[in-house]
Amino acid sequence: MSSKSVAALVGSITLAFYSGMAFSSKYNFQEPQSVIARDIYDQHIMLLWICLAIFIAVFGVMFYSILKHRKSLGYKAANFHHSTAVEIIWTTIPVLILIAMAWPATKTVIAMKDTSEPDITIKATGYQWLWGYDYLQGEGEGISFYSKLSTPPAQMRNKEPKGENYLLEVDNNLVVPVGKKIRIITTANDVIHAWWVPAFGVKQDAIPGFIRDAWFTAEKPGIYRGNCAELCGKDHGYMPIVVEVMEQDKYAEWVAEKKKATAGVVTTAAVEN
């Protein structure tokens, strides 16, 4: 391959990469907002680079060999035979690459599953088709409410223009304080659902009759949106998750208000137990 065509190839790959970056805000992962989400994001990018490097190396050698040694230049088919050295090399290198990829991935998976010593524990129950939240432990213990889609039906029927958070808005946000370890216990009341908030790197099935858990520590206040991620029936796409992360003092105010508002009301937890 001439140096000109190599330059053209590198140029078009670079161009494809940068035009890809321009769209990345739409097609890339959401900006990570927890340690786990950042680990997942970084490893995803690292693996992409490793795959790209392998792709370029393998296909580079292959196309170079095909072009440079083609029949029309007078080359004859080679007669390869067994080589122990080559076989050892092409087994060892991929094994090393796999270990280098699996090592950080395993560490992250283990960290993901470490739900010990949470500051706050919240049970998320999937229903067809909404979520129920019960604060089981920590500040806010005893709070209990349902959270369901609040997008006006008129928007769904195209009678009104669609809002900014179309199908990603609920009547009662799940509220948590910033910087605290939040353990989410997932279960379901009817069929399997899944509690998924991409910015926190949390995706956990909610299975009837079973308890699963996950955790996150939100790094900054804000509103983070997710979805049910397990096909659960006709309104599966209409049971979003909205997590509102508040500063500690605001959260304390919210807890006080919520407790006042629900004092004397029979909670979902009381009904289910």
> Whole-number minimum distance, CB 40 to Cu ion, in Å?
22
What does residue 97 show for φ and ψ, rounded to 5 degrees?
-65, -45
Contact between 124 and Cu ion per CB under 5 A: no
Scanning 112-120, 161-169, 177-185, 189-197 for contacts with Cu ion by CB under 5 A, the matching segment is 189-197
Q: What is the dihedral of CA 257, 258, 263, 269, to 10 degrees?
A: -160
In the complex with Cu ion, the residue whose CB is nearer, 180 or 236, is: 236
Q: Which CB, 149 or 232, lies closer to Cu ion?
A: 232
- Which of 184, 228, 242, 243 lies at the binding interface for Cu ion (CB under 5 A)? 228
Q: Which is nearer to Cu ion, 197 or 228 (CB)?
A: 228
Closer to Cu ion at the Cβ: 108 or 227? 227
Applying the rule CB under 5 A, the residues between 190 and 209 that interact with Cu ion are 193
CB-wise, 134 or 230, nearer to Cu ion?
A: 230
Helix axes 35-68, 84-112, angle to 10 degrees: 160
Piece of 46-54, 92-100, 170-178, 227-235 that binds Cu ion (CB under 5 A)? 227-235
CB of 228 to Cu ion, least distance (A): 3
* Residue 201 CB partners (closer than 8 Å, separation 6+): 32, 34, 36, 37, 38, 39, 40, 112, 216
Considering the rule CB under 5 A, would residue 176 count as an interface residue with Cu ion? no
Contact with Cu ion (CB under 5 A) among 38, 180, 203, 236: 236
Question: To the nearest whole angstrom, how small is the minimum distance from the Cβ of residue 132 to Cu ion?
Answer: 14
Residue 182 makes contact with Cu ion by CB under 5 A:
no
Phi-psi sector, 138: left (phi>0), alpha (psi -120 to 50), beta = left
* Choice from 149, 232, 243, 245 touching Cu ion (CB under 5 A): 232
Question: Nearer to Cu ion by C-beta: 199 or 228?
Answer: 228
Nearer to Cu ion, 194 or 255 (CB): 194
Site size for Cu ion (CB under 5 A): 4
Q: Return the structure tokens found at 265.
A: 């009301």
**Residue 175 touches Cu ion, criterion: CB under 5 A:** no
Using rule CB under 5 A, residue 148 touches Cu ion: no
Q: Tell me whether residue 236 or residue 250 sits nearer to Cu ion (CB atom).
A: 236
Which residues lie near Cu ion (CB under 5 A)?
Answer: 193, 228, 232, 236
